[in-house]
Amino acid sequence: MHANHRQEITEATAGDIIALMGIDCASGDTLCDLGSNLCLEGIVVPEPVVTLSIIPKHQDDVARMSKALHRFTREDPTFRVTVDPESNQTLISGMGELHLAIYIERMKREYKAEVDVGAPAVAYRETISQGASFDYKLKKQAGGAGQYAHVIGRIEPCEEAFAFESQVVGGAIPQEFISACEKGFREATANGVLMGYPVTGVKVILQGGSYHRVDSKDLAFRYAAVQGFLQGLAMAKPIILEPIMRVDVETPNQYLGRVQGDLCARRGLLLGSKTMEGYSVIQAEVPLKEMFGYSTAVRSLCSGQASFTMELATYRPVPSTQ
């Protein structure tokens, strides 16, 4: 393939750009001979950082929008589609405002599906700033079999998104219930205690507890684990993290000062700049919240002669002034 020119070939080598017809596959799939024992390294897919709500403008747009979203999620693993359980609105998530704008435009151009778009929402996270202990006991008895589960442990900050360690000894909690506890702890990270954002950077250490031979079941220990986690989370000085974007701006040299000043005004941290043949490339780290509408702003600052790229760099605590 070269632009819109096609040439039929019998084989392709490294570096060739080709198109295959009638293949049922998605981004990240490996295509090889059935007799080959080939295993390529997987693709690391970053988590989305921006979410928009979309609503079909007309009844006829519902099916077309659904078809478009199905295709987009198959071809781009960084593009996510979910449904808000409370509002029943369709939510699309991606790596930036421009990323989602492209798919909304493609929806209209390729599928004739028109949608109303809500305001962008930043994908904040919650984490903890210190360790804390938890001790939660579930004990219910209302005729017949009851429910019993008791978990004791700690949560601590860690570099990984989530880690679990069992220090249970002496059979205080049987192994099958320890597995149920781990599932419960992982489930609990879906919603934090401050604003309900996902929790990251937490290690859970299960240290002990107790069980009942009749009333203890997997479901009881999963529930106890969730409640124990939330109990510890509330005492571990939770904080909110915001996504920080690595931004590269290419601008004519005469606008260098303007662009740098604007990035600083957006709470940006300037990392450096490179100059080449009348142009400068500025590297900075800027909170995603401050980058909404930046494509329009930078064009205005530089008379339409600047361009920029951005990608997720890290998460950092939200300043107390925000």
90 touches 52 (CB < 8 A)? no
**How many Cβ atoms are within 10 Å of 185's Cβ, its own excluded?**
25
Only one residue has tokens 């570099």, namely: 159
| Residue 205 φ/ψ, nearest 5 degrees | -115, 115
Whole-model pTM: value is 0.75
Which residues are 128's β-sheet partners? 238
List the chain residues with pLDDT less than 70.
1, 86, 142-144, 322
CATH of domain 50-123: 3.30.70.870
Say what the pLDDT of residue 144 is: 65
Helix ranges restricted to H, the chain = 60-75, 97-111, 175-188, 218-235, 256-265, 294-301
pLDDT the model gives residue 86: 66
Q: What residues does each domain of the chain span?
A: 50-123, 127-236, 242-317
Secondary structure (DSSP) of 186-248: HHHTTS-SSSSPPB-SEEEEEEEEE--TTT--HHHHHHHHHHHHHHHHHHS-EEEEEEEEEEE
CA distances from 212 to 68, 145, 218, 224 (A): 52, 11, 12, 14
Whose tokens are 């740098």? That residue is: 260
Out of 3.30.70.240, 3.40.50.2300, 1.10.3720.10, 3.40.50.720, select the CATH number for domain 242-317.
Answer: 3.30.70.240
Which CATH number describes the domain made up of 127-236? 3.30.230.10
Closest CA to 76 of 18, 26, 30: 26
* The pLDDT of residue 6: 82
Looking at residue 317, its pLDDT comes to 95
Asked if 158 and 200 touch (Cβ cutoff 8 Å), the reply is: no
Task: Please tell me if the domain spanning 50-123 has the same topology as the one spanning 242-317.
Answer: yes
